[in-house]
Chain A
Amino acid sequence: QRSQLNDFQVLRGTELQHLLHAREPGTWQENVTNVEECAGQCGPLLDCRAFHYNVSTHGCQLLPWTQYSLHTRLRRSGHCDLFQKKDYVRNCIMDNGARYRGTVATTTDGLPCQHWRHKFPVDHKYTPTLRNGLEENFCRNPEGDARGPWCYTTDPVRRFQSCGIKSCREAACVWCNGEDYRGLVDRTESGRECQRWDLQHPHPHPFEPSKFLDKSLDDNYCRNPDSSERPWCYTTDPQVEREFCDLLSCGVPGFPLGPEAQSRQEATTLNCFGGKGEGYRGTANTTTAGVPCQRWDAQSPHQHRFVPEKYACKDLRENFCRNPDGSEAPWCFTSRAGMRKAFCYQVPRCTDDVRPLECYHGAGEQYRGSVSKTRKGVLCQPWSAKTPHKPQFTPAQHTELEANYCRNPDRDRHGPWCYTTDPGTPFDYCALPRCAHDQPPSILEPPDQVLFEECGLRLDRPNYWRSKMR
């Protein structure tokens, strides 16, 4: 069930160019069945180190170089994915590093390595070939030495020395439950190889990398996208769906954290929650609808995996609303047997609005101040500019539209606004409140006549739904 793609690291939307015309990549083969077929072609070839895959045409181009080869550069590409052999691009070693093909060329003491093809200052028995990978003066482990890749040094006093390249297990450690782990271990604790996150076989799963961009579900590396106890992966063994990975912990829970670890922690809040509320540490202990929460250290009425001891960084105290699993907001298991979990939406979201300096009267049609930021702090687009948004209101039509100041040319009842410099937000309201004591006219007057034509119509068949239910 192992995919040949497991030997490759992918860079989506990327092309690898060689800057010397003398070096030619392989020709494009069109209509290969899929990317795995392309990986199957490149994998066994000693002079194939990477390949391009064209997603739309199913084209495949084999490459004899990687991004770390001389005279190459990466470029964004709309149609191309770049797959490079892990052995050539990983900066750590698996096992004893016999397959390591990276470009480290200094020893543990910082001594430069001698070129493998040179016999001076050190004379030796090796002859570089494609198979043994003794290239340039890069650290290698041609005979599987237990101390990992090494090289002959250019220092006549020191014949050879280990290069001290860390094993992938040691190169990155795990904080808390390892949601931030971005290391390159691709084996489970029992030694099974991990399934790629971008494949659905042998185990189908919901963790498609494109939907979980913040989780870095790269290749087949151990990750923790669902706030499990530790990083894990689906395995390539059809009989074993998923397993934890054996990784090193950066510290014991409760141990004072260094500055690096502290910067990883989300800002904590008490009376509101920011983002998804993973940093919420307040004492709300009911669901939005007022149902009391179950204590985290209890397994009744609901059994669950969020045992406080196993999630020391998540502050699962008493029955307080928390977000230990990256849900949309703080939540809890409820004390009702029929309702497993519910959000605590009664805790307000912390406003990320900027603090306003001025105010406006009415709807702000007469506002002529110089505030030029939206309530979210995004800079306004000048009214005379055409990008990133094409304006419908211009200074030529409305003389009050100066520079990028907030204005209200369309008498928007919700106040002054502007086009924003954020391509994803065409317009937004400005960091301006209505002036105090400036009440808008009341709407609670006799209702108007209403006419509707196309919307709001439905087929009411009272018995239909009952029969569908049956």
Chain B
Amino acid sequence: VVGGQPGNSPWTVSLRNRKGQHLCGGSLVKEQWVLTARQCFTACHAPPPGYEVWLGTMFQSPQPGEPDLQRIPVARMVCGPPRSQLVLLKLERPAALNQRVALICLPPERYVVPAGTKCEIAGWGETLGTGDSRVLNVALLRVISNSECNVKQRGRVQENELCTQSLMVPVGACEGDYGGPLSCFTHDCWVLEGIIIPNRVCARPGWPAVFTRISMFVDWIHKVIQL
């Protein structure tokens, strides 16, 4: 995260490859289910063996034996509907919820976050020198309407995507943050409104950032968990 600061995001998880290296972010939407970006995975049919989700730590390289760290292997993966850029990961066992590990709410189906809503992204990705990428960083972003976003993005932003305001200083997601959450505070709860998808430029000043709009795929998330 560029332009953020160390923070707390107990639903943000770290996806690790079989060597234990951080690969992408993700969001804990149910005790045994993590939502992340399709681009982080090689194939749709099965998770690569040895991949894990790490929860409950703020460090990118937690020390062995860190008491709050939970490491849970990925048991199954399901690719999202066409054009969603989403993947749901089923964990081998449920995560234990505590002060460091929490679920994030899902929005109602087809809910549109009002422009001006304050949201935040979180991740262990690059900071481009604006902070310490060894810890979880959080940055505040404000939602803008798709029509406003499309002025700058020249009509490329679809309804299944949402945008956050551009700033004149670089603030936003970067390498290693993909798959992580855009969470917005609504009615006293944090709601997963977007997923960080690979954007062409990292936290580019003057350009709105684009995310996958989760409310368009909530029905699919419920269906996968139910089935």
Contact = CB atoms under 8 A, between A and B. Distances in A.
Interface of A: 206, 208, 210-213, 275-276, 287-291, 328-329, 336, 338-339, 342-343, 345-346, 349, 352-353, 375-376, 389, 392, 410, 412-415, 422, 424-427, 429, 433, 442-445, 447-448, 450-452, 454-461, 464-466, 468-469
A452 B17 contact: no
B44 interface: yes
Given A290-B200, A342-B126, A450-B191, A469 B135 contact: yes
A206 B19 contact: yes
B81 interface: yes
Contacts of B215: 443
Given A290-B202, A414-B81, A450-B108, A206 B159 contact: no
A291 B202 contact: yes
Interface string B104-139: 111110111110000000000010110010010000
A289 B202 contact: yes
A289 B105 contact: no
A342 B17 contact: no
Contact of B189 (A345, A389, A456): A456
Interface in B41-55: 41-46, 49-50
Nearest to B191: A456
Given A288-B175, A456-B189, 4 more contacts: A412-B219, A414-B84, A458-B8, A459-B8
Given A288-B202, A465-B8, A443 B44 contact: no
A345 B178 contact: yes
Nearest to A389: B227
24 contacts: A206-B20, A208-B18, A289-B200, A328-B23, A338-B129, A339-B128, A339-B175, A343-B175, A376-B45, A424-B45, A424-B76, A429-B82, A444-B146, A444-B159, A447-B111, A447-B112, A448-B108, A448-B111, A455-B103, A456-B102, A456-B104, A456-B191, A458-B190, A468-B58
Nearest to B184: A456
A239 to B, nearest CB: 24
B96 interface: no
Given A410-B223, A447-B111, A452 B191 contact: yes
A207 to B, nearest CB: 8
A456 B190 contact: yes
Interface residues of B, number: 76
Q: Is the interface of B mostly helix, strand, loop or mixed?
A: loop
B74 to A, nearest CB: 12
B46 to A, nearest CB: 6
A288 B198 contact: yes
Given A289-B199, A346-B198, A450 B128 contact: no
B154 interface: no
B63 interface: no
A35 to B, nearest CB: 21
B6 interface: yes
Given A210-B50, A328-B40, A342-B126, A288 B191 contact: no
Contacts of A352: 43-44
A326 to B, nearest CB: 10
Contacts of A275: 42-43
B61 interface: no
Nearest to A451: B187
Interface string B186-227: 111111000000111111100000000001110110011001
B26 interface: no
Enumerate the 9 nearest inter-chain pairs by beta-carbon distance, A residue then B residue, closest first: A289-B202, A211-B50, A456-B189, A414-B81, A452-B189, A456-B105, A345-B198, A456-B190, A455-B103
Given A206-B19, A443-B159, A413 B44 contact: no
B216 A443 contact: yes
B180 interface: no
Interface in B131-168: 132, 135, 145-147, 159
Contacts of A461: 8
Nearest to B20: A206
B16 to A, nearest CB: 11
B81 A425 contact: no
A349 B37 CA distance: 12
Contacts of A339: 126, 128, 175
B78 interface: yes
